[in-house]
Structure 1
Amino acid sequence: MNPREDGAKRAVHATVVKVLTHRREDRGMRLEEFTSRCVRAGEVHELVTTDQAGSPPGARIDRVGFLGFAEIQGAGVLDRGDEVWVDGRLAGTVLGFDACHFPNHYNVLIAVDALVTGPDLDLRPETPVSFRQVTAGAREQRPVGTRS
């Protein structure tokens, strides 16, 4: 979010449709230069954690933990820095996007302190996920990639 350009937005809600259980140290994803992506109701996107929070656009993202696939419930905008909530618990923040599978789906890269997978967060099909905008004041106190 750029407070000079971005106003308020609604949260984007999703539902887990498939849980993933693996980690990779050599995935080779590419952090897209775009800091936001529009999503539509009914789309399914992959949720992927990474501990490479300081990576610049275009960076290779190798260390990842796969959470699963989630269906978007209503159209909205996902922005770098949005909080990712899983079943009412803060899981991390949106780092950005990898488009290696697009147009089938985006990999939504979620910055975390330590890699986690679906089972680590007790994910199951139908688990609710939400992406929430962080206010400018709260963001200044917590850099992207930290959960506390």
Structure 2
Amino acid sequence: MNPQEDGPKSEVTATLLKVLVHRRIDRGMRLEPHASRCVRAGEVHELVATDHDETAPGARIDRVAFLGFAEITAAGVLDRGDEVWIGGRRVGVLLGFDGCHLPNHYNVLIRADPAPTGGELGLAPGEPLVFRQGCPGPHG
């Protein structure tokens, strides 16, 4: 993403539907080449925390902690570097996307170190989630 091309945008809101509590060190997700994705109201996507920080297309993401599934409530654009807030807590920064489950859903990869699971954060279904525009640059 070129900061000179990145203007202001609306927040993308969502609601947590399901909390996930597991982690993997050998997941083998692959980072999509896209730094941004449009999402529609009603779509459901999986939220996955990772301590990886590589943003090259195809980068392998192995160390992951699963946060949960969320339903988008206000359509918009998710960009690498967006801050991710769940229930008023900053969870991390959007790293990118893995499309291994498409067309069902994206894995929305969130950079956090250490990478927590939804259970470790004490998340609960129904909590509000917000993607807020972060600072320019690869990681916000």
Normalization by structure 2: what TM-score? 0.95
| Separation (CA, whole Å) in 1 of partners of 2:113 and 2:3 | 25
* Alignment correspondent of 1:77: 77
Amino acid at match of 1:65: A
Contact 2:42 2:71 in 1 (8 A): yes
Amino acid at match of 1:44: V
| Separation (CA, whole Å) in 1 of partners of 2:106 and 2:135 | 25
| Separation (CA, whole Å) in 2 of partners of 1:3 and 1:81 | 11
Structure 1 vs Structure 2 CA RMSD: 1.4
Identify unmatched segments of 5+ residues in structure 1: none
Identify unmatched segments of 5+ residues in structure 2: none
Runs of at least 4 residues of structure 1 off by over 6 A?
A: none
The superposition leaves residues 72-98 of structure 1 with CA deviations (integer Å, 9 ceiling, x where unpaired) of 001100000000011111110000000
The structural deviation recorded for 1:55 is: 4.2
2:65 is equivalent to residue 65 of structure 1: yes
| Separation (CA, whole Å) in 2 of partners of 1:54 and 1:102 | 22
Counting aligned pairs with the same residue, the percent is: 66
- The aligned runs of 1:8-19 (5 Å cut-off) are 8-19=8-19
How many correspondences in the alignment?
140
* Alignment correspondent of 1:116: 116
| Separation (CA, whole Å) in 1 of partners of 2:37 and 2:6 | 14
